[in-house]
Amino acid sequence: MTLEATAFGKVAVLMGGHSAEREISIMSGSGVLKALRDKGVDAHAFDPAERDLSDLKRDGFQRVFIALHGRFGEDGTVQGALEMLGIPYTGSGVMASAIAIDKVMTKRVWLHEGISTPRYVLLRKGAYTAGQVAAVPRELGLPLIVKPAREGSSIGLTKVTDVAAMAHAVEVAAALDCDVLCEQFIDGDEVTCPVLGTGPRAVALPVIRIVAPEGNYDYHNKYFTDDTQYLVPCGLPEGEEAAIQQMVLQAYRVLGCRGWGRVDVMIAAATRQPYLLELNTSPGMTGHSLVPMSAKAAGISYQDLCLQLLASAGLDQSRRSGAP
């Protein structure tokens, strides 16, 4: 689908918001806003933390680019409000967004569909005992990963290498979410694969291999350092990239995602088996972000990517009712 910039009408770029990823969202949204304006789109910044979403309708916005990350933006809540307002928006709809933000629900769907993902233990805040926490390393082995079930950008994530550190890691994650995900650590290559499109027309972009300082791809190394290496072409053994792209497309489609997304993957060093970690339905669009980097390798500029995503904006309701 292609449209002239003027055909989009008045466009809101949602950025900021209330989540723990507010700072990154503002960085993403600012980049998108500039790119759309440079393309001639009548685009405006809109921060849901400072304005009510009903202002979108009152002020005549005809389309929304969602550059929000995390909860209250990537979890189906904003998508539901936009469905009620009848304003087309970028990215996945209500159900797919709500499932994908929840790493445990995502795993359950993927496992049901036979898609490989690391083994896990779920601890619900206020319902687990010290004994259950201590038992996790015995079940999953060490090292292991502890993280909130519904945060992104590695916020609240701890790599646990010693049993004595387990309780504190759970406390850190539980301070951010009522559900704590304890996950098997996969030692090997860390890669990510973006997807553009919907259903059978969705395509996987080039895989990016991530080489972070000391293997620690944390919040700082994601956004605020130039020490992390992003390799595209990824340099994986022949056939591996294509296999990961097919696996990622399957994972994206079974969740019912649309528009765009990015799947993070670990490849076990010993077996070369890929394990899917999570699916981001509103990926970053900052200067360090991975979707623009992969798109560039596929010949799509940042500006053209933003315009293409805006052109894909839609509503779940219109798809259900048979509208184009």
Active-site positions?
Answer: 21, 153, 223, 262, 264, 278, 280, 284
CA distance 282 to 151: 13
**Cβ density class 178-197: b for 16+ within 10 Å, e for less:** ebbbbbbbbebbbbbbbbbb
Q: Is the dihedral of CA 289, 291, 295, 301 positive or negative?
A: negative
Between CA 103 and CA 278 the distance in angstroms is 6
Q: Name the one residue in this structure whose structure tokens are 């609240």.
A: 156
CA distances from 130 to 35, 124, 172, 223, 289 (A): 50, 12, 15, 35, 38
Q: Report the run of H or E that residue 235 belongs to, with start and end.
A: none
Beta-ladder partners of 66: 14
Give, as one character, the DSSP assignment of residue 89: B
Alpha-carbon span 27 to 292, nearest angstrom: 14
Strand order, beta sheet including 144-148: 120-124, 179-184, 144-148, 158-160
